[in-house]
Amino acid sequence: MATETPIINILTYKLPFELSKQIYNEFQNRLKEANFLIETYKTYKPLKDNIKTVELFLSLSIFHRRVITNLDGAVKFYGTVIKNGQTDTVRIGNYNLTGEEKNKILAVVMNYNTLLEKFSIPLVVMEYYETREFLKKLITLKSDLENADYKEKGTKRNGNQSDEEGLPF
């Protein structure tokens, strides 16, 4: 039987070692804290049956914060420098950020955002400081999805009901 590869390993595959290590360590620490909070406090009990989903969202949110926001920042920085300066290349140490590379980075950010939108994952879930705040946002998202599912099933006729595949909860 093949074992399932953790999503954090998939997200950090081929990233520089130092960045992968930071992401992985943050993930491990926050996952441990999330599991403790879910097991200990009544507020977070609604997530008890969705530990795998919490793990997936946590992995994605850390990747978002450590990788995607920095790529987006580089694109915005490039735009500001080019708009205000008389150059078409931004030199950072030995690295030259050109318009072509900026476009490739922008494509990555746009594709990532398209995926989030496709799976109805709001960016607000990715933005938090404390694990408690993250868990509260997941509880809200779960509740919103359950309410939407309930309303959808209530409006369908008996023979037309279809299950939504892809919903995380």
Q: Which domain holds residue 40?
A: 15-142
Residue 81 in any domain: the answer is yes
Q: Residue 66: inside a domain, yes or no?
A: yes
Kindly report, residue by residue over 140-151, the tens digit of the pLDDT: 999 888 887 666
The span from the CA of 167 to the CA of 169, in Å, is 6
- pLDDT for res 1: 52
Asked if residue 89 is part of any domain, the answer here is yes
Residue-wise pLDDT tens digits, 19-34: 999 999 999 999 999 9
Q: For the chain, where are the alpha helices, taking DSSP H only?
A: 7-12, 17-40, 51-63, 69-84, 99-118, 131-155
Our count of domains for the chain comes to 1
Residue 82 lies in a domain: yes
Domain membership flag for residue 162: no
Residue 155 has pLDDT above 90, yes or no: no
Look at residue 92 and tell me if it is in a domain.
yes
Give the angle 161-163-164 at the CA atoms, nearest 5°. Answer: 125
Give per-residue pLDDT as tens, 72-130: 999 999 999 998 888 888 888 898 999 999 999 999 999 999 999 998 899 999 999 99
Q: Is residue 153 part of a domain?
A: no
pTM assigned to the model = 0.83
Asked whether residue 159 is domain-assigned, the answer is: no
Q: How confident is the model at residue 11 (pLDDT cuts 50, 70, 90)?
A: very high
3-state secondary structure (DSSP) of residue 74: helix
